[in-house]
């Protein structure tokens, strides 16, 4: 049997959890392109409260994500995933039943409180072997990008045809479908594997927060999602004022996503294969700045708006792909999961800040102030990012150690002496070695052979 071929359980876990994650993300994203247009018909609605309804989801996610991930170590992954999806569904039902903006705000807060991302990743780690885990995680990452594009198109179509309340009912059904898939398709884990590559290490946040490179990348994901959410406060009403009916907004998002996805691949190849991550990173921030300036100058010129939107999502989709890769490269060996937890919290704080502040700025002075502040934020981000170093082009991996290998006090030094190995951390109580490697010089197979020979 090919040891790198996924087993039936691994395939079920990957497809099942990937689908659950995608259904939840679909429900989250479908609201973004429609809330600032259709939501204004709600009782008590204002631009500031619409922004709060967009942003409060991110605040709740930021608060509950890491604690829920740690709790899943004790209560079990599947029970927490099911509980989180039930909370998400409850929030969707509340938003569907209300005709008040405050009801939608409460519903969105509950949706965000069902924070299951960490538990999903932990269960995926429990159900996949080391040599296949990267493929499984990559599938989740790809599904995230595809789901975002689908949501941008489906949200306006469903809301125009059936109304905002029907959209929330549909989101509740998606959550219930996720529960059904979790129960019927996703295998149960026999044991929880403490994998520092995907899980959070208790008491290790100080080590991650003290890393200057990671801190700058966390600022980056905060800025990226603050710009995204503030843009969705201003863009839909701007397009409506420029003469494009809300029912047709999906056409803009469809073309924009198709073009940006096609352009992402060359950027990623150049960044990873040619080892030009920082250059691509700085180019994307520059494109985001240009997009904010174009949108600021667009006024009611529809084609100028289209150009700004295309620039924005081209840079956004590339950034969404390379930022997690940068976090993985910069995270200390054995602390990638913790670094990703802090990264995700920073992302959701950006969602909260972008939605809430974007709504306040839009209500105060209109769309021009939203994009002017967005441009200022992009400039600040660009200046901070100039101090980033070129990342080490390494990958993280975990090797399970035998009882004899754990007792080998010289194992870490022998592993580190291998070509392409930059960092080694042996954790005896977990019977694991966490290693950072340059895959152009070595690979998992060679290191496993060394460990087994020892």
In this structure, are 294 and 148 located in the same domain? no
In this structure, are 250 and 369 located in the same domain? yes
In this structure, are 15 and 67 located in the same domain? yes
Quick check: 118 pLDDT over 90? no
In this prediction, residue 44 has a pLDDT band, given cuts at 50, 70 and 90, of: very high
Task: Please state, in angstroms and rounded to a whole number, the distance separating the CA atoms of residues 354 and 348.
Answer: 10
Residue 287: give the domain boundaries. Answer: 200-391
- Contact 197/434 with Cβ under 8 angstroms? yes
In this structure, are 304 and 438 located in the same domain? no
In this structure, are 192 and 215 located in the same domain? no
Task: Give 351's contacts (C-beta < 8 A, 6+ positions apart).
Answer: 54, 55, 57, 58, 59, 61, 62, 225, 226, 228, 229
Tokens of 262: 């096609």
- pLDDT for 126 equals 81
Q: By mean pLDDT, which of 79-93, 106-120, 172-186, 214-228 is the weakest?
A: 106-120
In this structure, are 70 and 129 located in the same domain? yes
In this structure, are 34 and 99 located in the same domain? yes
Angle in degrees, 0-180, between the axes of helices 367-385 and 212-241, rounded to the nearest 10: 160
| Residues 345-354: tens digit of each pLDDT | 999 999 999 9
- The mean pLDDT value for 412-418 works out to 85
**Greater model confidence, 293 or 145:** 293
In this structure, are 425 and 311 located in the same domain? no
Which of residues 147, 164, 198 is at a domain's end?
198
Above pLDDT 70, what percent of the chain?
A: 97
In this structure, are 208 and 102 located in the same domain? no
Q: By mean pLDDT, which of 22-26, 115-119, 273-277 is the weakest?
A: 115-119
Quick check: 343 pLDDT over 70? yes
- pLDDT for 111 equals 93
| Residues 250-273: tens digit of each pLDDT | 999 999 989 988 888 898 888 888
pTM tops 0.85: yes
Could you tell me the CATH number of the domain that includes residue 147?
1.20.1250.20
- pLDDT for 351 equals 94
| Residues 16-41: tens digit of each pLDDT | 998 998 998 898 889 989 999 899 99
Task: Please state, in angstroms and rounded to a whole number, the distance separating the CA atoms of residues 308 and 78.
Answer: 42
In this prediction, residue 42 has a pLDDT band, given cuts at 50, 70 and 90, of: very high
Task: Please state, in angstroms and rounded to a whole number, the distance separating the CA atoms of residues 349 and 352.
Answer: 5
In this prediction, residue 2 has a pLDDT band, given cuts at 50, 70 and 90, of: very low
Place of tokens 């029912």: 247
Which of residues 198, 218, 243 is at a domain's end?
198
Tokens of 187: 């295998």
Quick check: 204 pLDDT over 80? no
In this structure, are 271 and 369 located in the same domain? yes
Which of residues 198, 213, 241 is at a domain's end?
198
Q: What does the mean pLDDT of the chain come to?
A: 88
In this prediction, residue 1 has a pLDDT band, given cuts at 50, 70 and 90, of: very low
- The mean pLDDT value for 386-392 works out to 91
In this structure, are 2 and 55 located in the same domain? yes
């Amino acid at each position: 049997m090919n040891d790198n071929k996924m087993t039936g359980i691994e395939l079920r876990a990957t497809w099942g959890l990937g689908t659950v994650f995608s259904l939840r993300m679909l429900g989250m994203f479908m609201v973004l392109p429609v809330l600032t247009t259709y939501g204004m018909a709600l009782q008590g609605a204002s631009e500031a409260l619409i922004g709060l309804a967009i942003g409060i989801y991110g605040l709740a996610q930021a608060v509950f994500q890491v604690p829920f991930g740690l709790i899943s170590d004790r209560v079990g992954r599947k029970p927490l995933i099911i509980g989180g999806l039930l909370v998400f569904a409850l929030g969707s039902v509340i938003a569907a039943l209300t005709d008040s903006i405050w009801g939608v705000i409460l519903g969105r807060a509950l949706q965000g409180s069902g924070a299951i991302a960490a538990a999903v990743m932990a269960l995926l780690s429990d159900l996949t072997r080391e040599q296949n885990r990267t493929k499984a995680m990559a599938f989740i990452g790809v599904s995230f990008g595809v789901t975002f594009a689908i949501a941008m198109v489906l949200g306006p179509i469903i809301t125009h045809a059936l109304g905002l309340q029907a959209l929330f009912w549909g989101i509740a059904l998606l959550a219930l479908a996720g529960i059904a898939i979790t129960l019927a398709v996703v295998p149960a884990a026999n044991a929880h594997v403490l994998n520092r590559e995907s899980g959070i290490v208790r008491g290790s946040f100080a080590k991650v927060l003290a890393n200057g490179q990671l801190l700058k990348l966390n600022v980056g994901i905060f800025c990226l999602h603050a710009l995204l959410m503030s843009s969705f406060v201003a863009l839909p009403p701007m397009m409506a004022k420029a003469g494009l009916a809300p029912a047709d907004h999906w056409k803009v998002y469809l073309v924009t996503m198709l073009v940006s996805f096609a352009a992402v691949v060359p950027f990623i190849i150049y960044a990873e294969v040619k080892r030009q991550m920082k250059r691509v990173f700085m180019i994307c921030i520059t494109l985001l700045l240009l997009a904010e300036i174009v949108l600021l100058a667009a006024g009611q010129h529809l084609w100028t708006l289209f150009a700004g939107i295309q620039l924005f999502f081209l840079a956004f989709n590339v950034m969404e792909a390379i930022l997690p890769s940068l976090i993985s490269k910069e995270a200390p060996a054995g602390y990638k999961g913790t670094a990703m937890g802090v990264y995700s919290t920073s992302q959701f704080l950006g969602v909260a800040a972008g939605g809430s502040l974007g709504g306040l700025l839009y209500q105060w002075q209109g769309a021009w102030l939203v994009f002017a502040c967005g441009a200022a934020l992009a400039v600040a981000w660009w200046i901070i990012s100039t101090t980033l170093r070129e990342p080490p082009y390494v990958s993280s991996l975990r090797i399970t150690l035998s009882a004899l290998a754990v007792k080998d006090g010289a194992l870490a030094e022998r592993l580190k002496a291998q070509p392409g190995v930059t960092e080694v951390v042996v954790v005896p109580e977990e019977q694991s070695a966490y290693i950072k490697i340059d895959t152009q010089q070595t690979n998992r197979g060679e290191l496993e052979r060394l460990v087994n020979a020892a």
